Chain A
Amino acid sequence: MSPTQWDFPVELCCRPMAFVTLTGLDVVYNAVHRAVWDAFCANRRADRVPISFKVLPGDHEYPKCRPKRTSYEWYIPKGILKTGWMNKHLNLVPALVVVFYELDWDEPQWKEKQSECATRVEIVRQSLQGRNTKVAVVLIQKKTPLPPGEDVIASERAAALCNACELSGKSLFVLPHTDHLVGYIIRLENAFYEHAQTYYYTEIRRVKSHKEFLNKTTHQLLFVRHQFKIAFFSELKQDTQNALKNYRTAYNLVHELRAHETNILEIKTMAGFINYKICRLCFQHNTPLDAIAQFRKHIDLCKKKIGSAELSFEHDAWMSKQFQAFGDLFDEAIKLGLTAIQTQNPGFYYQQAAYYAQERKQLAKTLCNHEASVMYPNPDPLETQTGVLDFYGQRSWRQGILSFDLSDPEKEKVGILAIQLKERNVVHSEIIITLLSNAVAQFKKYKCPRMKSHLMVQMGEEYYYAKDYTKALKLLDYVMCDYRSEGWWTLLTSILTTALKCSYLMAQLKDYITYSLELLGRASTLKDDQKSRIEKNLINVLMNESPDPEPDCDILAVKTAQKLWADRISLAGSNIFTIGVQDFVPFVQCKAKFHAPSFHVDVPVQFDIYLKADCPHPIRFSKLCVSFNNQEYNQFCVIEEASKANEVLENLTQGKMCLVPGKTRKLFFKFVAKTEDVGKKIEITSVDLALGNETGRCVVLNWQGGGGDAASSQEALQAARSFKRRPKLPDNEVHWDSIIIQASTMIISRVPNISVHLQHGPPALTNEMYCLVVTVQSHEKTQIRDVKLTAGLKPGQDANLTQKTHVTLHGTELCDESYPALLTDIPVGDLHPGEQLEKMLYVRCGTVGSRMFLVYVSYLINTTVEEKEIVCKCHKDETVTIETVFPFDVAVKFVSTKFEHLERVYADIPFLLMTDLLSASPWALTIVSSELQLAPSMTTVDQLESQVDNVILQTGESASECFCLQCPSLGNVEGGVATGHYIISWKRTSAMENIPVITTVITLPHVIVENIPLHVNADLPSFGRVRESLPVKYHLQNKTDLVQDVEISVEPSDAFMFSGLKQIRLRILPGTEQEMLYNFYPLMAGYQQLPSLNINLLRFPNFTNQLLRRFIPTSIFVKPQGRLMDDTSIAAA
């Protein structure tokens, strides 16, 4: 866009930099000069001093300085700020003029050159007459200078040159043209910068010095002007703090000016400029809150300063510009690192700018609606002699006139007319849309989706006003879904209404129909008369006629649209429109509902389609079709009703396909499912409802799944929550809300009509061939075929169970690992009605625990559904949980020959192994036989014969066996010595003859064998008799390879007298045996302690008497004396 009257001047918006001109450089033809210039202006990064350079010829004429005013007494200013002033100090009046001159210190023609240089300086001084601009000289030299002080000629000549040019030493510079050009240049420009700052400092002082001459009555404008100038010079001096301070003062002074309709524009313009500078500097100083506060204050102060009512659009244009400029400043600050927040970001300012632009448009529309015959005034009152205004914000036809009275009202009228006519040519929409799109970009960035949508609606509407309907529709269509999904129906309706107008004006059939459908729907908040009108239009369109124009449309646009519609009618083809409704809220609602969540394959699948219209008038549809995931069913679910195009609204209540508004219509369908679909889901994938017919135009509403549109899920939720009682309806009618969509159903197999019985005797015993009798009986009316049995462990249980469970049909042989856990599809043949069959099944369970067994019987049967013959596969299954238990517990213990419990056995000393078999089975067990298999290390003392053959054990009974064993010395074996296995062969007592015997192998425990150095055993009779001699012989066997020293003593006992060695010490050679003979003489009857034998082995102190007592008897039963024998025994004594 070209800059308009309202745009801020470039010189206001730029960053003011010190202005320095370079003269004496021939940048076109002289390569050295060119290089010097490039070093000055190329690559000016932020770290270089802020100077704007310009190359000018040495004799350049600078703007003339006006003669100094000695008194302000009679001076009356004509305006606040001249339009050229800022530019003058930015680009025309330099702070410093640099004269470049090629001169080496050892120049042979020094005198001539010196005076030429002086002349050049003089020329520059001439053209700067009256200004404080500094002059400096730079000598471009070919030689590298010597360090200061060493070159005597140089310092002499430098002094002479300064003298000749009337320069101070500080203003003469040397630029050796060597390798380090850029370095020298940077040093040079830093020096220039200092001179420039001094210049601006003096300028500020100069302006300030005027102040004392001013008086408050006539020089109000000058106060503002001077303050502004001081601030601007401060900026040029890069003293932004003072600049800000002075701008603030200037801002306050502007508002102190007496405002009147004639000068209000000038005041506002200047206030806007100063405000812009203040905000800009605040952002620069990283005090954004100050900027915002200043801007708010500015808007509050200026909001009401509208000025001339006839030109009030100018005020809005100005306001819009203020907001836009602030938005730009804010945005720029963000780009430089400022963080904005959701509630304070540039978007709001752009939005306000757009708002004022819209206001401007409205005002312009009412104020500038001159008749076409009104001509633009001639001569143009807006033209000035120079083409620009002298002062900012003044009227071109009365520049510099400060009087509040209009001297020439006629001229004023013409001027206003000219402005109004110019305003008429402004493309407001373009301005508004640009501002809105700026705002949209900002709100998108600061997470305001709804604000963004709102602005996009405004953009769409603006495009509509600008007659760019395509863009309008695109924007509106884009945001519609946001409002729809959040349920803001009022807003949606408003957007749809605009969209409908756009689509009408473009004669976009599909869009027109879609928007109409939704505007007629329940989400629309339109009044009924509007809905009626839209419905009528929709039907017209479907009958291939033109709709009536939408209200409030531009008359010219309507004419174009009518032509377009007429063209559409004559156009053939593409007259069927399919519209997916899931993304909007159409005026027909649809719900599909299967009667049940599953259907048996031998009954027809039934479902209803419910339809309800929300439009004001009844409407007739031409066709309804339902599609399924299995497309073969589609053909069965179509309703078509032939009607003529013009009957859409007629025959109101008759016919299935005529929907009465507000009433729910139920359409019933049924079909027979295919047997292949047993176990599968039948799903309604879509419902298509056609409106209109193919001869005219036809709209197909397409519901995905079992119906429902953008609003229905929320409605269903609300309906589900509600516990409001619904009014009673006639029997055949239902409440729409109470219908719940059921879009899929399962096809399941026909109900079997057979019985399956299982007979068995739980629990099962480990490893036995457990018998399960399956009885299948048919209760079908006809013969069933292909009966198959699947039986065994139910899949899906613990994997270990599968390994340890085996199933077979043959019980006569034991099954091993190779048998499966589940027998599948055992053909059993056919069964006639009422027939029964029996099948024996044997299960062998290797581990205890419970198992689930499955018996599954499948068969085929022919049946008829809806006069269709189908073959149904039916099945019935039974599961049973069987517990497996151990048949018996086997306990094994080792005892000494004295039946004393042994923790360890002693080498070569016989001991007893006792087995105890306790039946744990609830059923009687027959022990067929048992066997003891000894490990090689064990030997038997007597014969190993089973003592429990063919014993029958009832529950809780036990069978014991006892074996006498001996273990030779083996040395020290870690963990004991293996004993062997105990093998039991058994079966259930109730089992049939041919059922094999089960062998259970029990591994006998290991036993610890210990060697003892001395084995003692006693020979004594089984009982004694009082006063009868009782001979006892002790055998002492040395089991070691050593000679044993043995101390033996026999302690006396009250019950016995005895003869023999009472205390002895003897030696026993390795492997030999010593016998000790005693003759005990019992004195008392009864169970008596024998005189205890104490043996002490000198080499084996561990061999204690406790140990000894294990081998030898410690007591004996003494019978009383027989009567008959009395005398003889006395005699013997």
Chain B
Amino acid sequence: MAVCIAVIAKENYPLYIRSTPTENKLKFHYMVHTSLDVVDEKISAMGKALVDQRELYLGLLYPTEDYKMFRKLHNSYTDVMCNPFYNPGDRIQSRAFDNMVTSMMIQVC
């Protein structure tokens, strides 16, 4: 079960963030924010290695088995982006996305 799901803009601010209501929200916000350190490092390492720049998937920060989870989330995110009324960079306020996140947070993985 996912406890917190967040989508971060490339400028590093949260586009969407939700965590289980039972636990301290701030704790998860901090956790997501600090994990951006690793993302930054991965991106800068990628620039150095001159790998194929079209491959934008960084991989997992830490290994987990829920690979499907990313794909599901990403598909839903793509749907949000495809919405002609969504302005890229705005915080995500989509009911469909919300429902998908809820289902992922409830689902026992």
Point out the residues of chain A lying under 8 angstroms from B33, CB to CB: 450, 454, 483, 486, 488, 491
User: Which residues of A are at the interface with B, using a C-beta cutoff of 8 A?
Assistant: 342-343, 447-451, 454, 457, 483, 486-488, 490-491, 494, 714, 717-718, 721-724
CB distance from B39 to the nearest CB of A (A): 10
Q: Which of B25, B30, B62 contacts A454 (CB 8 A)?
A: B30
Contact between A718 and B89, CB atoms less than 8 A apart = yes
Q: Which of A343, A483, A494 contacts B38 (CB 8 A)?
A: A343
Given contacts A342-B38, A343-B62, contact A490 B85 (CB under 8 A): no
Contact between B90 and A454, CB atoms less than 8 A apart = no
Q: Which of A451, A490, A718 contacts B34 (CB 8 A)?
A: A451
Given contacts A486-B12, A486-B13, contact A449 B87 (CB under 8 A): no
Point out the residues of chain A lying under 8 angstroms from B14, CB to CB: 487-488
Contact with A along B35-48 (1 / 0, CB 8 A): 01110110000000
- Chain A binding surface, main DSSP class: helix
Point out the residues of chain A lying under 8 angstroms from B30, CB to CB: 454, 457, 491
Point out the residues of chain B lying under 8 angstroms from A490, CB to CB: 17, 25-26, 29
What is the CA–CA distance of A451 and B36 in the complex, to the nearest angstrom? 9
Contact between B89 and A447, CB atoms less than 8 A apart = no
User: Which residues of B are at the interface with A, using a C-beta cutoff of 8 A?
Assistant: 11-14, 17, 25-26, 29-30, 33-34, 36-38, 40-41, 61-62, 85, 87-90
13 examples of A-B residue contacts, CB within 8 angstroms: A342-B37, A342-B38, A449-B37, A450-B34, A450-B37, A454-B30, A454-B34, A488-B14, A490-B17, A490-B26, A491-B26, A718-B90, A722-B87
Point out the residues of chain B lying under 8 angstroms from A487, CB to CB: 11-14
Contact between B29 and A721, CB atoms less than 8 A apart = no
What is the CA–CA distance of A1018 and B89 in the complex, to the nearest angstrom? 103
Q: Which of B11, B13, B26, B88 contacts A721 (CB 8 A)?
A: B88
Given contacts A454-B30, A718-B89, A722-B87, contact A488 B13 (CB under 8 A): yes
Tell me which of B29, B37, B61, B85 has the highest count of chain A C-beta atoms within 10 A of its own C-beta: B37
Point out the residues of chain A lying under 8 angstroms from B36, CB to CB: 450
Q: Which of B25, B40, B85, B89 contacts A717 (CB 8 A)?
A: B89
Point out the residues of chain B lying under 8 angstroms from A722, CB to CB: 87, 90
Point out the residues of chain A lying under 8 angstroms from B25, CB to CB: 490
Point out the residues of chain A lying under 8 angstroms from B29, CB to CB: 488, 490-491
Q: Which of B11, B61, B87, B90 contacts A486 (CB 8 A)?
A: B11
What is the CA–CA distance of A873 and B37 in the complex, to the nearest angstrom? 60
Q: Which of B26, B61, B85 contacts A724 (CB 8 A)?
A: B85
A491 and chain B: residue at smallest CB distance: B29
Point out the residues of chain A lying under 8 angstroms from B37, CB to CB: 342, 447-451
Q: Which of A448, A449, A494, A714 contacts B11 (CB 8 A)?
A: A714
What is the CA–CA distance of A721 and B36 in the complex, to the nearest angstrom? 25
Point out the residues of chain A lying under 8 angstroms from B87, CB to CB: 718, 721-724
What is the CA–CA distance of A438 and B39 in the complex, to the nearest angstrom? 23
Known: A343-B38, A723-B87, A724-B85. 8 other contacts (CB 8 A): A342-B37, A483-B33, A487-B12, A487-B13, A488-B13, A490-B25, A490-B29, A491-B29
What is the CA–CA distance of A722 and B84 in the complex, to the nearest angstrom? 10
A351 and chain B: residue at smallest CB distance: B34
CB distance from B62 to the nearest CB of A (A): 7
Tell me which of A457, A491, A717 has the highest count of chain B C-beta atoms within 10 A of its own C-beta: A491
What is the CA–CA distance of A722 and B85 in the complex, to the nearest angstrom? 9
Given contacts A454-B33, A491-B29, contact A342 B13 (CB under 8 A): no
Count A/B pairs, Cβ under 8 Å: 60
What is the CA–CA distance of A488 and B29 in the complex, to the nearest angstrom? 8
A447 and chain B: residue at smallest CB distance: B41
CB distance from B5 to the nearest CB of A (A): 15
What is the CA–CA distance of A342 and B85 in the complex, to the nearest angstrom? 40
CB distance from A337 to the nearest CB of B (A): 22
CB distance from B25 to the nearest CB of A (A): 7
Point out the residues of chain B lying under 8 angstroms from A721, CB to CB: 87-89
What is the CA–CA distance of A724 and B25 in the complex, to the nearest angstrom? 31
What is the CA–CA distance of A270 and B26 in the complex, to the nearest angstrom? 37
A455 and chain B: residue at smallest CB distance: B34
* CB-based closest 6 A-B pairs: A487-B13, A448-B37, A722-B87, A451-B34, A486-B12, A450-B34
Point out the residues of chain B lying under 8 angstroms from A454, CB to CB: 30, 33-34
What is the CA–CA distance of A542 and B87 in the complex, to the nearest angstrom? 40
Point out the residues of chain B lying under 8 angstroms from A486, CB to CB: 11-13, 33
CB distance from A20 to the nearest CB of B (A): 50
What is the CA–CA distance of A342 and B61 in the complex, to the nearest angstrom? 11
Point out the residues of chain B lying under 8 angstroms from A447, CB to CB: 37, 40-41
Point out the residues of chain B lying under 8 angstroms from A717, CB to CB: 89
Tell me which of B14, B33, B87 has the highest count of chain A C-beta atoms within 10 A of its own C-beta: B33
What is the CA–CA distance of A718 and B86 in the complex, to the nearest angstrom? 11
Contact between B13 and A448, CB atoms less than 8 A apart = no
What is the CA–CA distance of A568 and B96 in the complex, to the nearest angstrom? 54
What is the CA–CA distance of A89 and B54 in the complex, to the nearest angstrom? 64
CB distance from B92 to the nearest CB of A (A): 13
What is the CA–CA distance of A491 and B26 in the complex, to the nearest angstrom? 7
What is the CA–CA distance of A457 and B27 in the complex, to the nearest angstrom? 12
What is the CA–CA distance of A724 and B36 in the complex, to the nearest angstrom? 31
What is the CA–CA distance of A451 and B33 in the complex, to the nearest angstrom? 8
What is the CA–CA distance of A488 and B62 in the complex, to the nearest angstrom? 23
Given contacts A487-B11, A714-B11, contact A448 B90 (CB under 8 A): no
CB distance from A722 to the nearest CB of B (A): 4
Point out the residues of chain B lying under 8 angstroms from A723, CB to CB: 87
Point out the residues of chain A lying under 8 angstroms from B88, CB to CB: 721
Contact between A448 and B12, CB atoms less than 8 A apart = no
CB distance from B68 to the nearest CB of A (A): 23
What is the CA–CA distance of A494 and B25 in the complex, to the nearest angstrom? 11
CB distance from A202 to the nearest CB of B (A): 49
CB distance from B95 to the nearest CB of A (A): 18
Given contacts A487-B12, A488-B13, contact A494 B26 (CB under 8 A): yes
What is the CA–CA distance of A448 and B35 in the complex, to the nearest angstrom? 9
CB distance from B93 to the nearest CB of A (A): 12
Point out the residues of chain B lying under 8 angstroms from A714, CB to CB: 11, 13, 89
Tell me which of A447, A490, A724 has the highest count of chain B C-beta atoms within 10 A of its own C-beta: A490
Point out the residues of chain A lying under 8 angstroms from B41, CB to CB: 342, 447
A449 and chain B: residue at smallest CB distance: B37
What is the CA–CA distance of A457 and B40 in the complex, to the nearest angstrom? 21
B44 and chain A: residue at smallest CB distance: A447
CB distance from A463 to the nearest CB of B (A): 18
CB distance from B46 to the nearest CB of A (A): 14
Point out the residues of chain A lying under 8 angstroms from B34, CB to CB: 448, 450-451, 454
A494 and chain B: residue at smallest CB distance: B26
CB distance from A434 to the nearest CB of B (A): 21
What is the CA–CA distance of A447 and B34 in the complex, to the nearest angstrom? 11
Point out the residues of chain B lying under 8 angstroms from A457, CB to CB: 30
What is the CA–CA distance of A488 and B37 in the complex, to the nearest angstrom? 15
What is the CA–CA distance of A534 and B30 in the complex, to the nearest angstrom? 25
What is the CA–CA distance of A450 and B14 in the complex, to the nearest angstrom? 14
Point out the residues of chain A lying under 8 angstroms from B85, CB to CB: 724
CB distance from B37 to the nearest CB of A (A): 4
CB distance from A450 to the nearest CB of B (A): 5
Point out the residues of chain B lying under 8 angstroms from A343, CB to CB: 38, 61-62
What is the CA–CA distance of A450 and B29 in the complex, to the nearest angstrom? 12
CB distance from B80 to the nearest CB of A (A): 15
CB distance from B64 to the nearest CB of A (A): 14
What is the CA–CA distance of A714 and B33 in the complex, to the nearest angstrom? 19
CB distance from A1118 to the nearest CB of B (A): 94
CB distance from B90 to the nearest CB of A (A): 6
Point out the residues of chain A lying under 8 angstroms from B62, CB to CB: 343
What is the CA–CA distance of A483 and B14 in the complex, to the nearest angstrom? 11
